[in-house]
Amino acid sequence: MVIGIPRSLFYYYFFPFWSGVFQALGLTYLVSPETTKGIMENGATLTADEICLPVKLHFGHAHYLADKVDLIFSPGFGRWGRRSHFCPKLISLPDLTRLQFQGTLEFHHELDEANSIVEEYWLAPLRQLAPGVKKKTLLYALKEGENKQAAFVALCRQGYLLPQAFKELDVRLASGEDPARMFKAGSQQEKGPRILVLGHPYMVYDNLAGQGLLQTLTKAGARVFTKEMVPAAEEDKLWPTQEKRVFWTLGQQMLSAAYYYVSRRQIDGVIFHSACLCGPDALIGELLEKYLGKVEDAPPLLKLTVDEHTGDAGLQTRVEAFLDLLEWRKQYAAV
């Protein structure tokens, strides 16, 4: 039996965990390829118009897998940690997927108040995948997955961008190194502007939806920081004057990351990369602006919004101009 994992949504963060669990149970899985135009178009035709791009992409990837695998891995995301939620589209994702495709593996990828995986949600789907396997073995597999995830998270916090962290994780595991050990810092360029890219990982790192933002930045010699690099103790922290926690998990993480880097003066510019039609993002963008507006000598902010119709040219022009602006600012500060 082959399980199909769509390369969408929280593949871009929890793949080490998922793959770790499946490997430990000796299950075979297939990951859909990097997003192509075809995948994006299929996703757009399979979904309602007003659905956001990430969900469209998810359907495109599921469609790619539909005739190649026995079960489509179809997680839903409700809440991670305390008072932290996802939008209705991600909560209802297993249901939405079931309406469109046959043979889906439904479950909820939730995190408890201590931010660890809620095992009880996993036991039912794992029993479906590996019938007859003892609970003890299943729990062991979950532990294996969690270890792999922990190693990946540690890599991210060392400054690796997500795709590099995935790659590095495989290299380390293949060489038999203890994944839980701390790794040395990722190699990023020494000079060049330091840019904090805030966005949903499944947008920023997607081949098409990201529109080459990270490549453009690294090509231009910029050092990229993301919310995944923020230390655990800080990743959920409210800024001192923030009146209340943001309802949305990723939204709060983005704001906390902005607070972490900006208050430490560790970055030169902030790029907010959001999906068109993303309800939470519309609020987060405003809050981010509000926060930066109160900081003295705050780093400049560039807001980018993408949907499936956006061409790369507009993004390139804006990012280039933004880098010019930062350079200009630096020269001015030096005078």
Partner 1 sequence: MKEMFIGIDVGSVSTNLALLDLEGQVVQTVYLRTGGRPISTVQLGLKRLRETMGSSSLPKASATPLQSEDDRGQTTESLEEQKTTEGYGFSRSSEEIRIAGVATTGSARRLIGLMVGADLVKNEITTHAVAALHYQPDAQTIIEIGGQDSKLIIVRDGIVVDFAMNTVCAAGTGSFLDQQAARLGMEIEEFGNLALTAKNPVTIAGRCAVFAESDMIHKQQMGHPLSDIAAGLCEALVRNFLSNVGKGKEIKPTVVFQGGVAANPGIKRAFEKVLGYSLVTPEYFGVMGAVGAALLARNQYLTTKKSSNFRGWQLCTEDITTVGQTCDGCSNHCELVVLKRGGQVLAYLDDRCGKWSDLVTETAGEAI
- By the rule CB under 8 A, 309 interacts with partner 1: yes
Query: Tokens in use for 228?
Result: 């995944």
- By the rule CB under 8 A, 185 interacts with partner 1: no
Nearer CB in complex with partner 1: 232/321: 321
* Span from 11-19, 47-55, 84-92, 321-329 in contact with partner 1 (CB under 8 A): 321-329
Decide: helix, strand or coil at residue 143: helix
- By the rule CB under 8 A, 66 interacts with partner 1: no
- State in angstroms the smallest separation of the CB of 292 from partner 1: 11
Phi/psi of residue 278, each to 5°? -85, 115
3-state DSSP of 258-327? HHHHHHCCCCCEEEEEEECCCHHHHHHHHHHHHHHHHCCCCCCEEEEEECCCCCHHHHHHHHHHHHHHHH
- By the rule CB under 8 A, 31 interacts with partner 1: no
* Span from 48-56, 75-83, 244-252, 302-310 in contact with partner 1 (CB under 8 A): 302-310
- By the rule CB under 8 A, 38 interacts with partner 1: yes
Nearer CB in complex with partner 1: 38/88: 38
Q: In sequence order, what are the residues at sequence separation of 6 or more whose Cβ sits closer than 8 angstroms to the Cβ of residue 11?
A: 5, 18, 31, 202
Decide: helix, strand or coil at residue 55: helix
Residue 246: HSE in the Cβ half-sphere, 13 Å Cα cutoff: 27
Contact 204, 210 (CB under 8 A): yes
- By the rule CB under 8 A, 36 interacts with partner 1: yes
- By the rule CB under 8 A, 33 interacts with partner 1: yes
Q: In sequence order, what are the residues at sequence separation of 6 or more whose Cβ sits closer than 8 angstroms to the Cβ of residue 221?
A: 189, 191, 192, 193
Looking at residue 238, what DSSP letter applies? Answer: P
- By the rule CB under 8 A, 41 interacts with partner 1: no
- By the rule CB under 8 A, 305 interacts with partner 1: yes
Contact 196, 271 (CB under 8 A): yes
Decide: helix, strand or coil at residue 8: coil
Q: In sequence order, what are the residues at sequence separation of 6 or more whose Cβ sits closer than 8 angstroms to the Cβ of residue 295?
A: 262, 263
Nearer CB in complex with partner 1: 181/309: 309
- State in angstroms the smallest separation of the CB of 318 from partner 1: 6
User: By rule CB under 8 A, what count of residues binds partner 1?
Assistant: 24
Any bridge partners for residue 28, and if so which? 2
Nearer CB in complex with partner 1: 95/320: 320
Of residues 92, 137, 300, 308, which one binds partner 1 by CB under 8 A?
300
- By the rule CB under 8 A, 45 interacts with partner 1: no
* Span from 3-11, 31-39, 42-50, 175-183 in contact with partner 1 (CB under 8 A): 31-39
Of residues 212, 218, 234, 247, which one binds partner 1 by CB under 8 A?
212
- By the rule CB under 8 A, 301 interacts with partner 1: yes
- By the rule CB under 8 A, 320 interacts with partner 1: yes
Residues in touch with partner 1 (CB under 8 A): 33, 36-39, 212, 300-301, 305, 309-310, 313-314, 316-318, 320-322, 324-325, 328-329, 332
